[in-house]
Amino acid sequence: MSVYSKSNSFRGGIHPVEEKQLTENLAFEIMPNPKNILLPLSQHIGKPAIPIVKKGDSVKAGTLVAEQEGFISSPIYSSVSGTVKKISVENNASGFPKEAIIIEAAESNEIELFIPLDLDTVTSQEIRDRVKAAGIVGQGGAAFPTFVKLTPPKDKEIDFVIINGCECEPYLTRDYRLMLERPKELIEGLKLIMKSLGVAKGTIGIEDNKPEAAEILKRNLKNEKNISIEILKTKYPQGAEKMLIKAVTGKEVPPGKLPLDVGIVIQNVGTAIAIFDAVVKGEPEITAALTVSGKGINYPKNLIVRVGTPISDVLDYCGGLKENAVKVVVGGPMMGVAQYDFSAPVMKATSGILILTEEEINSHKETPCLKCGKCIEACPLNLMPTKLARLSQLDKLDDAEQLGITVCMECGTCTFACPANIPLVQWIRLGKQRVLKNQKERISA
């Protein structure tokens, strides 16, 4: 590691208003079960799950309702006990309507669990199988099936596990609260990940705006020689995989490569705790921890809700929207998705629901590019957003490809920084999709 410089940060990035004070001191509340749940078959990256129940079947919380299809996929469990009402195409938070199983909740609250495994004697294979069976997906936003990350190709040697406790998105305090309230489970979860990968060393990366969380974890890590805490600079997007690896180890993941190509596996705080719950308590992934925040909701909260709970139920539970609410976002303010249909459900990887007001959005009128270079200075991947956006606008896709448009991770830093308020990342996103499509066609041709 000597050729790399460790900096506890990365070049570029931005400092959005954090607004974490709205929820950071609120302990998790468990929200009562909703009347209906809606389980999209695709709550993860990869192939949608295949339903194995039909209308009228009765299920318990923890009953398998859809099976994993293929390697990169994830099974789905009912999160309440009740009756399957129908399987139909429904809206979800991604904005693309997909098939979903709708279950009417019963009064009773029966639950079906896996056999709990012993923390000390559990084997690496048992951990992987359990993570796969429990339907755990990455909680960092992308919802990548977790067991795939724990099953690296044989030719890749993994020597380091990083737990992502940055939570660099403004507003969100879910990971922070999890670190405060469940530090032991987080550390045990990390040890399970290390065991399953046969890795000796792990670390937890935390931004320096969360000293209490770092303190609690340090106290709990007194007797752990192989696990360290890394305090990182508070800067968006510190929690992006490439940025986190750079800050913790100094290594740069090359364009088009994955963390495992540099011998590293990253898991989110929420994912590590879900792994602990699945292995030690036998719980499949049927609850989601999330932050409901923003100046447009009456009672901001940190909540534990059943996967499949409609957003409208969550909003009602938090006292409803204020009159000045103008935008409802699932996820963080930098990368989340704006919603128009509140019947869409909370999914496995939903980390927050934000209700924003005009004042928070702070939008200005778009003006011509003044070539100020602020987007270039801010881009953590050293791209030239203003050029890429312009090339995408002009449909000059070959030039855009050459300038690295496919490297963009769509973190939104450029658009945030742009004083001319040009929708840079939006144009880049469009161009990137077309470039990727062209690349596919080239390969198949």
Partner 1 sequence: MSTITANPVYKLELTSSPHVHSRWSTKQAMWMVVLALLPALISSVIFFGFYQLLVVSVSVASAVVTESLIKYIRKREITITDGSGIITGMLLGLILPPNFNLFFTALGSIVAIGIGKEIFGGLGYNIFNPALVGRAFLQAAFPVQMTTWIKPNMAVDSVSTATPLSAFKFDSIFADISNMFIGNIGGSLGETSAISILIGGIFLIVIGVVNWRIPVSMFLGVIIFGGLFWLLNADQYPSPVFHMLAGGFLFGAFFMATDWVTSPLTAKGMWIFGFGISLVVVMIRLFGGLPEGVMYAILFMNAFVPLINRYTRPRIFGEAK
The footprint of partner 1 (CB under 8 A) covers: 14, 16-17, 170, 242, 246, 252-255, 257, 321, 323, 325-329, 331, 333-342, 354, 356, 360-365, 367-373, 376-377, 380-384, 386-387, 403-404, 407, 410, 412, 415-417, 419-421, 423, 425-426, 429
Which residue number, 56 or 368, has a Cβ lying nearer to partner 1?
Answer: 368
Q: Residue 289 pairs with which residues in a beta bridge?
A: 304
CB of 374 to partner 1, least distance (A): 8
Nearer of residues 273 and 388 to partner 1, judged by Cβ:
388
Shortest Cβ 259–partner 1 spacing (Å): 11
Residue number, 56 or 256, with CB nearest to partner 1: 256
Alpha-carbon distances, residue 432 vs 319, 340, 405 (angstroms) = 40, 25, 6
- Taking the complex as a whole, how short is the minimal distance between the CB of residue 10 and partner 1, in angstroms? 8
DSSP letter at 280 equals I
Cβ 8 to partner 1 shortest distance, Å: 17
Q: Which is nearer to partner 1, 228 or 406 (CB)?
A: 406
In the complex, what is the shortest distance from the CB of residue 379 to partner 1, in angstroms, rounded to a whole number?
8
Alpha carbons 197 and 192: distance in angstroms, whole number: 9
Least gap, CB of 142 to partner 1 (angstroms) = 14
Minimal distance, residue 425 CB to partner 1, in Å: 7
Q: Count the neighbouring beta carbons within 10 Å of the beta carbon of residue 31.
A: 20
Strand spans (E) along 134-208: 160-165, 202-207
Q: CA of 42: how far to CAs of 51, 69, 288, 314, 378, in Å?
A: 11, 11, 16, 21, 34
CB of 404 to partner 1, least distance (A): 5
CA dihedral 143, 144, 150, 156 (to 10 degrees): -140
* Token pair for 199: 């890795």
Type of residue found at 346 = V
| Residue labelled with tokens 């669990």 | 113
* Per-residue b or e along 393-417, where b marks 16 or more CB atoms closer than 10 Å to that residue's CB: eeeebeebbeeebbbbbebbbbbbb
Least Å from the CB of residue 376 to partner 1: 6
Q: Which is nearer to partner 1, 177 or 251 (CB)?
A: 251
Shortest Cβ 240–partner 1 spacing (Å): 10
Between 67 and 410, CB nearer to partner 1: 410
Please say whether the dihedral angle defined by the alpha carbons of residues 295, 301, 307 and 308, taken in this order, is positive or negative.
negative
Closest by CA to 22, choosing from 334, 305, 295, is: 295
For partner 1, the closer of residues 64 and 297 by Cβ is 297
Considering the complex, state which of residue 51 and residue 250 has its C-beta at the smaller distance from partner 1. Answer: 250
Q: Rounded to an integer, what distance in angstroms lies between the CA atom of residue 205 and that of residue 167?
A: 10
Phi, psi (degrees; rounded to nearest 5) at 313:
-65, -40
Residue 158 or 328: the one with the smaller Cβ distance to partner 1 is 328
Provide, rounded to whole angstroms, the least separation between the CB of residue 205 and partner 1: 18
Q: What gap in Å lies between CA 36 and CA 162, rounded to an integer?
A: 37
Distances (CA, A) of 135 to 36, 139, 169, 324, 408: 21, 12, 25, 38, 29
Cα gap 209→212, rounded to integer Å: 9
Q: Which is nearer to partner 1, 77 or 427 (CB)?
A: 427
> Which residues lie below 8 Å from residue 275, measured CB to CB, with a gap of 6+?
127, 131, 136, 146, 189, 192, 193, 267
| CA atoms of 242 and 246, how far apart (whole Å) | 6
Q: How far is the CB of 35 from partner 1 (least distance, A)?
A: 19
